[in-house]
Chain A
Amino acid sequence: MPPSGLDVLFQGTNFLRLLGGLWVAARIALISMALSVLLGVPVGVLMTSRNRVIKAVTRVYLEFVRIMPQLVLLFVFYFYVTMILRVNLSGETSAIIIFTVWGTAELADLVRGAITSIPAHQYETGYALGLTPLQVQMHIVLPQSIRRLIPAAVNLVTRMIKTTSLVVLIGVVEVLKVAQQIIDFNRFTYPTASIWVYAVVFALYFITCYPISLLAKGLEKKWALSSQPSH
């Protein structure tokens, strides 16, 4: 029987190395996403401000981060920004910072969209009950907005996990690069290894992203039931 590409996965510590790479990718994406949520919600509230300066600054920030490819941001930040600032940051720390900058912008825009989708009568009812503007935001607008942005935010997490494949350019080796490295190392002895290794990488991405989707679905359902008893 000719050597199957599947054998490659069980040579040495190859499979553990793949899992290690997955952990690197997941760690970067999850830490960045957690920070993005912490920063993105207040920034998103700021984005709904009527103040022109605040509007302009947040707008430029969002557009800048959206227009610049993440690859360019990672490259410029890791190599040149750290050099100019004379700080020594590891590739992984740099990646978390850039992913947070990106995630905050995207999430803030989602928060902005969710807040503006709350109908005016919700605010008016709140004020009529004697709540302050802050109380209206905290107790009426944000809880409803956050529920509305769950699906898009989860989409952002999974996009982030997949975008981690770019960090190899700044010397951080994650799951996809480990896979390509294993394929290359065995390209003469196991020419068909690529299909198997990529299949495993597909499975690994799936088992990472799918639970996140399930969790989001669960949250949506739970909050939808508990918060709208009157309908």
Chain B
Amino acid sequence: MNRVEKIFSEIRPWYLIVPFVILTLIAIFLEPSFQVPYGKEEKKLLNMIESIPEGSKVLVAVNYTPQTRYELDGSFHLIVRELLSRKVGIVFMTLTEMGIETISMGVRESLSGISSQEWSAVYGKDYVNIGYFAGGTLAAGAVSGSIFSMRGSDVFGNDLKNMSVMNGVDSFSDFSAFIELSSMKIDGTPAAVLFNVLSKGEGTPVIAVVTSDMVPEYIPFRKSGRIDILIKGSRRMAALERAFNNPGISTVRYSIASVLLVFIIFMIILSNIKNLVTGRK
């Protein structure tokens, strides 16, 4: 074993964690902000949200858990603020058990820092959280056509029929749009597809905003037309903020991850050089 081989062979896997952690901290504290140009999908979503008439209702499915909030929260805040500021009612639901917490935290953060002079949102009047639905319950409810057949009360036990945000809403086709923010599939199928196939709401636009790891799962359905607009992962979420002329946490978080990804690619190249030098295959 020569000197170079000895140096490389003494590198332990966990040694790499230390520079990675240091770089992560530097990236977080420097808050880089790479501007990503927006494309057709982001522009389409912007136009779609702008075209929703005041007083309409939108169904937002929050199918991600608190651990993936770091990636999806930016888009959640952006969409919720845009809809509520345009006086569009939001009905939140989730198809994952942890989604109830995600909705509560997301709404609280979306509304924080908004002064009442700009606009305000009241629970029950402007938005409601109807809670968790098992995939089978949603399928059965969608086949029957009525939301109230699936659930008569919100997540706090209040009667949905007494809430003004539910006025004019009975079936899925009464919504102006279905927006899914997702980091997982539900019973093996994207929830946006589940909704599109079962809801009979042929004219209701279906939008999916998904985490990077879910992009390969959702792309075939965008291509086949089951999903009308697909925001594909962190990079496109940053582009979405650009489209709305509102660069925020998605842009910063995408930039942080990009810096770290460059470091990982550098490490992969280095490990290949190590294997080349030590003759390991």
Q: Do A and B bind each other?
A: no
Interface residues of B (CB under 8 A from A): none
Interface residues of A (CB under 8 A from B): none
